Amino acid sequence: MNRRQLLSLMGISPALLAGASADAAPAKLQSDSTSSGSQQKFVALSPKGTPPPVQRFPMAPNLTSLDGKTVYLVDTGFFGADLLLKQVADWFQRNMPSVKTVYRRKAGTYPEPDPKLWAEIKANGNAVIMAIGH
Amino acid sequence: MGVPAVAMVTEAYVDLAHSTAAQRGMPTLRIAFTPHPVWGKTIPQLHALVDGADPVTGKPLMKEIVGYLTTPLSPEDEKSGLFPVSAGPSTIGPDTLENLQAYFMNNGMTDFLPIIVPTEKAVDAMLKGTSHHPDEIAGRIGRGVTDTYKYTVRQVAVNAVMAGCDPSYFPVVLAIASTGFLALGGSTTSFGYSMIINGPIRDKLNMNYGIGGLGPFAQPNATIGRAWTLMGKNLGQGAVPGQNYYGGQGNQLNYNNAVVVEDEKNSPWTPFHVQKGFKPEENVVSLFDGWDLRFGDGAKGSGAIMPKFDEQISSMFPTLTRMFNALVILDPLTAKALKEQGYDTKEKLTDWLWKNTTISAKDYRESFLAYVWLYPRALKGEEPYATWWKLPDDARIPCWPKADDINLVVMGGQTNTFFQVGNMNYIRSVSIDQWA
């Protein structure tokens, strides 16, 4: 399934990426040859709810280089993320030793924001790598 | 945060990661992928993984991440503003019923069983089951990291028609919808769901709370439960396996969500909705989420004069996950036997079960779901999780923080003294009458 099909199935207009509104015209079906002709036709109602509009946020400006910068490695709390991020820190040590890495486990369960950590990163960090998943 | 960021996600969640970023207003968020899973890998394996390639792009993983943090932004990255989103056309067709069936199924709107096609006439008939205006907002759902979808009485009616509900059932379906708690959460955990229905509406709708009450033997039981699943598919962001539904094995309960209709007349105890503060004459639906239902093996000491159902129920609890609580569904015969044993209220039984069913602190801490969901609460100092996490390995603790985490309901045909234990959380109880 491509990105356009996925977003459509989820009720998100693929046009979002292009900044246009979606088509609200009735869906037209491709009739198969065995069901055309004299069979009675009906209009059905969509069972879909109404999605919210999306508030787009601009990306934060990127750095020109990571030299001498502080990169926060944020663990969302799934098993293994801590060990993975330690290997990420090790990679920086081996390949970009001027980069300082700071490991933090995010407070709360994985979907919860951690405003205290976000503030710390904004004050002391230059970039974030956040490990998500299993 | 105001600083450049990269999400590092395992490759099982490629579409979920991109669609979530888009829904959160960051469709160009930088996301790097690792092989899946990360959990259970050795240090050398993780070392190789970090030194290896992003399995989605084929590029060296860490160089890709560094590039994501240092490449200048494009004009698309800097866009902001409010963008409308459409759920697609509000009507489908005109076409034959056969083609409409195929359209609904092929567009992820069904449970892959045939539906009643929601024609305008059928939906109008369903809407006569409530006094509420078709355009009234019936509920909102904002699940996990997604923003809030909203849905009208009419949109709920469409799903009720599809499920095969009679219009007389519609207030029950609306009450469920009004909670914003819809079935088919997308978690890898494969959530299952259940509901308890109380009040006179049970008989008015000819609901089954006797023989085979949890089986396929009554239209209201079958279709009200099915409507909950269809609403979960359609009224919010939906549930597409591998895209935004990740239940590893899925859950068979999702087909109709274990509709438990309490046998208030033959129960020796207070009805469930009255326990939750409603009047006996009120019609109420109570919702649960969790994992499963499993049968108990009657009573311990079944050859004895006084068989012990309390001990048999207790013996089943330690195998349940701590992430969810307990819902015990007792046949009236079992409930009456427990009353004769001395439990003349539900509270006496739940209190005994809570105090007399314990697990070791070690087993508790080593549970995967306790680690993911309860350890973070321990770290924040929330009790009793904080204390439990510090106890010696052999310390004994209750299965759940309080006796109220064990819920009891009475239902069954009195053909044998069985019961079922659900690993289920009580969510909330809502009035059905307010949606009549």
**Ranges A10-24, B140-154, B171-185: which has the least confidence:** A10-24
- Chain A residues touching residue B83 (CB < 8 angstroms): 16, 19, 53-56
Mean pLDDT along residues A64-87: 93
pLDDT band of A78, cuts 50, 70, 90: confident
Torsion sign across C-alpha atoms B214, B220, B224, B230: positive
pLDDT band of B86, cuts 50, 70, 90: confident
**For A2, nearest residue in chain B (alpha carbons):** B15
**What part of B 369-408 touches A (C-beta under 8 Å)?**
371-373, 375-377, 379-380
- Chain A residues touching residue B120 (CB < 8 angstroms): 42-45
**Ranges A35-39, B17-21, B217-221, B263-267: which has the least confidence:** A35-39
User: Which residue in the block uniquely carries the two structure tokens 């960051």?
Assistant: B26
φ, ψ of residue B344 to 5 degrees: the values are -85, 0
On the question of pLDDT at A37 being above 90, the answer is no
Mean pLDDT along residues B85-109: 94
Query: CA B356 to CA B29: how far, in whole Å?
Result: 51
Q: What pLDDT is recorded for position B243?
A: 81
Q: What pLDDT is recorded for position B309?
A: 94
B288-300 pLDDT tens trace:
999 999 999 888 8
> Is the CB of residue B145 less than 8 Å from the CB of residue B186?
no
Would you call B93 and A44 a contact, using CB atoms and an 8 Å cutoff? yes
Mean pLDDT along residues B166-179: 98
Would you call B43 and A43 a contact, using CB atoms and an 8 Å cutoff? no
A54 closest CA partner among B151, B75, B84, B149: B84
Q: What pLDDT is recorded for position A22?
A: 37
> Is the CB of residue A71 less than 8 Å from the CB of residue B8?
no
Pairing type for strands B326-330 and B406-410 reads parallel
Pick from B8, B89, B119: CB nearest A26 = B89
Query: CA B52 to CA B43: how far, in whole Å?
Result: 14
Q: What pLDDT is recorded for position A38?
A: 54
**What part of A 75-134 touches B (C-beta under 8 Å)?**
77-81, 83-84, 87-88, 90-91, 95-96, 105, 107-112, 118, 121-122, 125-134
End-to-end CA distance of chain B: 47
CA-based nearest distance B213→chain A, Å: 29
Pairing type for strands A127-132 and B5-10 reads parallel
Would you list the DSSP string of B55-79?
TTT-SBHHHHHHHHHHSPPPGGGG-
**For A121, nearest residue in chain B (alpha carbons):** B1
Mean pLDDT value across chain B? 94
Of all residues in chain B, the percent with pLDDT exceeding 90 is 81
**Ranges A13-22, B116-125, B365-374: which has the least confidence:** A13-22
B183 closest CA partner among B171, B165, B195: B195
pLDDT band of A29, cuts 50, 70, 90: low
Mean pLDDT along residues B71-86: 91
On the question of pLDDT at A8 being above 70, the answer is no
Q: What pLDDT is recorded for position A28?
A: 62
In angstroms, what CA-CA distances link B408 with B334, B345, B401, B403?
12, 10, 17, 11
B400 closest CA partner among B287, B290, B306, B301: B290
**For A80, nearest residue in chain B (alpha carbons):** B39
Domain boundaries, chain A: 70-131
- Chain A residues touching residue B96 (CB < 8 angstroms): 31, 35-36, 39-42
- Chain B residues touching residue A128 (CB < 8 angstroms): 1, 3-6
Mean pLDDT along residues B353-376: 90
Would you call A79 and B40 a contact, using CB atoms and an 8 Å cutoff? yes
**Sheet of B192-198, strands arranged across:** B259-261, B192-198, B284-295, B419-431, B326-330, B406-410
SS percent in chain A: helix, strand, coil, step 5: 30, 20, 50
**Ranges A15-24, B97-106, B273-282, B324-333: which has the least confidence:** A15-24
**Ranges B119-133, B136-150, B151-165: which has the least confidence:** B136-150
pLDDT band of A26, cuts 50, 70, 90: low
Q: Which amino acid is at B360?
A: S
Q: What pLDDT is recorded for position A31?
A: 46
- Chain A residues touching residue B104 (CB < 8 angstroms): 44, 47
Q: What pLDDT is recorded for position A15?
A: 42
Strands (E), chain A: 42-45, 54-56, 70-75, 100-105, 127-132
> Is the CB of residue A127 less than 8 Å from the CB of residue B69?
yes
Query: CA A93 to CA B7: how far, in whole Å?
Result: 20
Would you call B99 and A31 a contact, using CB atoms and an 8 Å cutoff? yes
Q: What pLDDT is recorded for position B367?
A: 87
On the question of pLDDT at A2 being above 60, the answer is no
Would you call A47 and B158 a contact, using CB atoms and an 8 Å cutoff? yes
Q: How many CB atoms lie within 10 A of CB B217?
A: 12
Would you call B150 and A49 a contact, using CB atoms and an 8 Å cutoff? yes
Token readout for B361 is 């602190």
Q: What pLDDT is recorded for position B238?
A: 86
On the question of pLDDT at A11 being above 60, the answer is no
Mean pLDDT along residues B358-366: 93
Would you call A11 and B15 a contact, using CB atoms and an 8 Å cutoff? no
- Name every residue whose Cβ is closer than 8 Å to that of residue B6 and which is 6 or more positions away in sequence: A127, A128, A129, A130, B30, B31, B32, B65, B68, B69
> Is the CB of residue B84 less than 8 Å from the CB of residue A21?
yes
Would you call B13 and A51 a contact, using CB atoms and an 8 Å cutoff? no
**What part of B 29-68 touches A (C-beta under 8 Å)?**
29, 34, 36-41, 43, 46-47, 49-51, 62, 65-66
pLDDT band of B403, cuts 50, 70, 90: very high
Instruction: Pick the more confident residue, B372 or B121.
Output: B121
CA-based nearest distance B55→chain A, Å: 15
CA-based nearest distance B341→chain A, Å: 42
- Chain B residues touching residue A29 (CB < 8 angstroms): 92-93, 95, 99-100, 102-103
Mean pLDDT along residues B156-179: 98
> Is the CB of residue B55 less than 8 Å from the CB of residue B34?
yes
Would you call B66 and A22 a contact, using CB atoms and an 8 Å cutoff? no
Domain boundaries, chain B: 7-78, 102-357+399-435
Of all residues in chain B, the percent with pLDDT exceeding 70 is 99
What's the pTM value of the predicted model, to 2 decimals?
Answer: 0.88
B86 closest CA partner among A14, A114, A100: A14
Query: CA B170 to CA B161: how far, in whole Å?
Result: 9
Would you call B86 and A44 a contact, using CB atoms and an 8 Å cutoff? no
On the question of pLDDT at A6 being above 70, the answer is no
Would you call A47 and B119 a contact, using CB atoms and an 8 Å cutoff? no
B145 closest CA partner among B243, B24, B1, B239: B24
Token readout for B281 is 């004459």
**Ranges A13-17, B308-312, B395-399: which has the least confidence:** A13-17
Q: What pLDDT is recorded for position A4?
A: 47
CA-based nearest distance B200→chain A, Å: 30
On the question of pLDDT at B70 being above 50, the answer is yes
- Name every residue whose Cβ is closer than 8 Å to that of residue A35 and which is 6 or more positions away in sequence: B96, B98, B99
Q: What pLDDT is recorded for position B179?
A: 96
Burial class (CB in 10 A: 0-12, 13-18, 19+), B236: buried
Would you call B118 and A31 a contact, using CB atoms and an 8 Å cutoff? no
Contacts 24+ apart (CB under 8 A), B274-277: B274/B198, B275/B346, B276/B429
